[in-house]
Amino acid sequence: MKLALHGATGRMGLAITRLAHAAEDLTVVGAVCSSVDPGQGKDIGELAGVGPIGVVATADLGSGLLGADCVIDFSVASAVPGLLAVAARQKMAVVSGTTNLDAAGKQALEKAADSVPVLWAANMSLGIQVLAEVVAHALRRLGASYDAEIVEIHHRKKVDAPSGTARRLADAVRSVRPDVQELHGRDGEVGMRSDRDLGVFGIRGGDVVGDHTVYLLGPGERLELTHRATSRELLAHGAIAAARFVNKRKPRLYTMADVLG
């Protein structure tokens, strides 16, 4: 399978480059980055530390994606609609892990999925997908007497909060309790917790790759369902698994649940 990378010079793009270089069934044929990225014009293999592979990072979407079967995107939300439009025209599958998409970005995902297979996930980890499923199952089994709260921890350089993964887990809670109301902080005399509250809180510091805990707190007991990422490569592995899955699939919008079957 021929891969193009969008957001190629970022940490995820370089991690995927390293894994693809080591895989017998994958070849990186394109690399797209921002026009102000210092990696522009450089060989993506050298940037990833695997040596030259003959693919130079470019800010030109058309040429950067040309010839690919699938593009893997870890960029910024504002760049996603343009990527999807080009991918749909060039008839290539899309795997995107870019978070914080606005309404226009989500609409662009749906439009592109009319023409090509598209998989979007806030977190490409297979474990996070299973955690979300476990959370929904546990809430159904435990009932309304158990409160749900979410805490996520990330490195000090992360710029958004709550994380896209925390929002994904909040959606898992919402699938069982559609009337929940997210809270992103408590301060002062806020009164007792309501049955609709769902606290989603972010902690930042150090070099933490990503920890997410869903607390289910009931009378006399609590469950703590935790996922800890120890390497960013787990997300790269998940993205490649997703690319292998969507390649040659029928056009529609897929999720990591589809990858797990």
Residues of the chain predicted below pLDDT 50: none
Let me know how long the chain is: 261
pLDDT digits (tens, 9 = 90+) for 235-257: 999 999 999 999 999 999 999 99
User: Considering the entire predicted model, what is its pTM?
Assistant: 0.85
* pLDDT score recorded for residue 46: 97
137 is catalytic: no
* pLDDT score recorded for residue 138: 98
Write down all domains in the chain, each with its CATH number in brackets: 2-120+233-260 (3.40.50.720), 126-229 (3.30.360.10)
* pLDDT score recorded for residue 232: 81
* pLDDT score recorded for residue 159: 87
Neighbours of 190 (CB within 10 A): 11
Phi, psi torsion values for 87, nearest 5 degrees? -60, -40
Catalytic residue among 2, 21, 158, 237: 158
CA-CA distance, 40 to 59, in Å (whole number)? 7
237 is catalytic: no
DSSP annotation of 77 reads: G
* pLDDT score recorded for residue 261: 85
Amino acid at 116: V
Three-state secondary-structure class, residue 8? coil
Catalytic residue among 6, 154, 212, 227: 154
* pLDDT score recorded for residue 136: 98
Phi, psi torsion values for 228, nearest 5 degrees? -120, 125
Sequence-separated (6 or more) residues with CB below 8 Å from residue 167 = 99, 122, 200
> 22: exposed, middle or buried (C-beta count within 10 Å: 0-12, 13-18, 19+)?
exposed
